[in-house]
């Protein structure tokens, strides 16, 4: 019963069925937004107007479709597929390789008629043929007048490497789902922060208790005034607040510390800092008025009562200037850093307070997944190595010779006929 069970798991049809289920679940995880707040699902999948007539937010939460790749049933499918690959490797691939290494002598001449290429020679030396075959790096086994040769046995290892690489990829996926996490932090410039805003994490994840500091944040622009790149100067701090690592990160160039990745993802403007003639610092908060479009912030400056007497300041970049408008919407001009404006009392713009958006994540399964894909690509190259076999029998002054190959049939025919020249 155990043997039948494991042979069922090693069956190609069962493996394809499990792989199709995994693909279907992955499609669901792609279509349905993952790791979003409950309000997002209530808005997009209401109870009154269910998607496809049955998909509502409560069913999504019950079935775990909001975090497909971390559910027990998805991990179970991955484990089943891995067990199927392991069973196939030990019950089919290793025995096949073991058979390929054996000396498979032909005992009768009738066996030559089942080969792709075979012929009968009358006027050629038996030793000359064996000598020519040996020069082409064939492994030769001989018993008196019977010879068996093979070459390219390493090509038969490719399927085993494919299975092993896929098992590594599945193992890396499971480890990443159980031990990885992803967080998002919006940090003002010069502030320190801890990893707190966790977006998703595995069942066995331990979020590290470490802090970091944003030393500086800036943006570079193109000649057409479009954003070229974001930069954040990030320092990793120890428990006493001392700097232990530092790097300027940008989009696609993260800071990596103890397998934790700090990615540059977003930015924001918080407020404007002014200084009056009495050297007092006054801060005005900025409000983002176009959250779903191009970012634009504004604030209202009024030193005295009534509040209706003031100016509107609008800013949409980090190039060091703002635009001023009166209460009627009339453009009054731009104000740059360290520039003063006479508004009832002179005030000077000393700083535009910005914040950077960081995505912090770790996935301990990534190195294993990379190794798996490397082996998978290597197995593709190895599979191009041709596995060829040649059999020879000398009988009654006749030489029966034939061969087989698993690929590159035309090249094998050319090589075969060179032996007979």
pLDDT (tens digit per residue) in 198-240: 888 888 888 888 899 999 999 998 888 888 899 999 999 988 8
Q: Which two tokens stand for residue 182?
A: 């992803």
Give the model's pLDDT for residue 44.
85
Q: Produce one character per residue of 28-60: b if its CB has 16 or more CB atoms within 10 Å, e if not.
A: ebeebeeebeeeebeeebeeeeeeeeebbbeeb
Res. 356 pLDDT band, cuts 50 70 90: very high
Give the model's pLDDT for residue 89.
86
Cβ 250 vs Cβ 230: under 8 Å: yes
Give the model's pLDDT for residue 216.
92
In order, the DSSP letters of 317-346 are -SSSEEEEEETT--EEEEEETT-EEEESEE
Within 8 A by CB and 6+ apart from 253, the residues are: 264
Average pLDDT value for residue range 395-418? 87
In order, the DSSP letters of 216-240 are EEEEEE-TTS-EEEEEEEEEEE-TT
Alpha-carbon gap, residue 402 to 129, rounded angstroms = 12
Alpha-carbon gap, residue 136 to 42, rounded angstroms = 70
Provide the 10 A C-beta neighbour count for residue 382: 19
Within 8 A by CB and 6+ apart from 269, the residues are: 286, 288, 295, 297, 315, 318, 352, 353, 354, 355
Query: What pTM does this model have?
Result: 0.71
Average pLDDT score over the chain: 87
CA max distance for the chain:
121
Give the model's pLDDT for residue 332.
87
Q: Which two tokens stand for residue 247?
A: 């790097």
* Four-CA torsion 209, 243, 184, 172, nearest 10 degrees: -70
Share of the chain above pLDDT 70, in %: 96
Nearest to 185 by CA among 285, 253, 260: 260
CA–centroid distance for 330 within its chain: 51
In order, the DSSP letters of 285-296 are E-EES-TTSS--
Give the model's pLDDT for residue 303.
59
Ramachandran bin of 368, using left for φ above 0, alpha for ψ from -120 to 50, beta for the remaining angles = alpha
CA–centroid distance for 81 within its chain: 20
Q: Which two tokens stand for residue 38?
A: 């409950």
Within 8 A by CB and 6+ apart from 9, the residues are: 80, 83, 84, 87, 88
Within 8 A by CB and 6+ apart from 177, the residues are: 69, 70, 75, 202, 365
Nearest to 201 by CA among 408, 361, 411, 36: 361
Nearest to 210 by CA among 249, 252, 251, 245: 245
Nearest to 284 by CA among 307, 258, 265, 256: 307
Q: What is the pLDDT of residues 265-305, one digit of tens each?
A: 989 999 999 888 888 888 899 998 876 557 899 998 875 55
Nearest to 114 by CA among 420, 421, 403: 403
Res. 99 pLDDT band, cuts 50 70 90: confident
Q: What is the pLDDT of residues 109-145, one digit of tens each?
A: 888 888 888 888 887 788 888 888 888 888 888 888 8
Provide the 10 A C-beta neighbour count for residue 343: 17
Return the ∠ at Cα 119 (arms to 118 and 122), rounded to 5°.
Answer: 155
Helix, strand or coil for residue 251? coil
CATH fold group of domain 103-152+386-419 = TATA-Binding Protein (3.30.310)
């Amino acid at each position: 019963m155990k043997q039948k069970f494991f042979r069922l798991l090693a069956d190609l049809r069962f493996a394809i069925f499990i792989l199709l289920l995994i693909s279907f679940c992955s499609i669901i995880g792609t279509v349905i937004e993952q790791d979003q707040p409950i309000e997002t699902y209530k808005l997009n999948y209401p109870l009154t107007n269910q998607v496809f007539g049955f998909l509502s937010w409560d069913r999504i939460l019950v079935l775990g479709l909001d975090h497909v790749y971390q559910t027990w049933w998805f991990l179970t499918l991955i484990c089943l597929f891995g067990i199927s690959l392991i069973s196939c490797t030990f019950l089919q691939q290793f025995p096949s390789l073991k058979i390929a290494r054996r000396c498979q002598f032909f005992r009768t001449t009738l066996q030559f008629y089942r080969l792709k290429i075979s012929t009968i020679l009358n006027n050629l030396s038996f030793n000359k043929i064996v000598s020519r075959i040996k020069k082409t790096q064939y492994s030769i086994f001989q018993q008196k007048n019977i010879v068996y040769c093979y070459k390219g046995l390493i090509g038969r290892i490719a399927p085993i490497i494919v299975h092993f690489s896929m098992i590594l990829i599945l193992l890396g996926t499971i480890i990443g789902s159980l031990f990885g996490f992803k967080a998002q932090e919006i940090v003002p410039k010069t502030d320190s922060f801890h990893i707190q805003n966790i977006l998703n994490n595995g069942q066995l994840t331990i979020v590290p208790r470490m802090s970091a500091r944003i030393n500086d944040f800036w943006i570079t622009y193109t000649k057409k005034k479009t954003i070229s790149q974001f930069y954040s100067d990030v320092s990793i701090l120890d428990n006493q607040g001392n700097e232990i690592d530092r790097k300027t990160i940008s989009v696609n160039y993260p800071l990596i510390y103890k397998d934790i990745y700090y990615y540059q993802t977003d930015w924001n403007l918080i407020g404007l800092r002014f200084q009056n003639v009495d050297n007092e610092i006054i801060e005005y908060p900025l409000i983002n008025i176009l959250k779903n479009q191009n970012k634009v912030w504004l604030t209202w400056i009024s030193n005295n009562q009534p509040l209706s007497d003031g100016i509107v300041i609008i800013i949409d970049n980090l190039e060091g200037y703002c635009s001023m408008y009166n209460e009627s919407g009339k453009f009054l001009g731009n104000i740059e850093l360290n520039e003063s404006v006479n508004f009832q009392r002179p005030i000077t713009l000393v700083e535009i307070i910005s914040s950077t958006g960081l995505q912090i994540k770790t996935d301990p399964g990534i190195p294993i997944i990379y190794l798996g894909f490397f082996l998978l690509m290597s197995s593709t190259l190895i599979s191009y190595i041709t596995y060829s076999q040649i059999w020879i029998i000398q009988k009654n002054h006749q030489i029966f010779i034939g061969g087989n190959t698993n690929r590159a049939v035309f090249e094998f025919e050319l090589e075969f006929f060179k032996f007979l020249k």
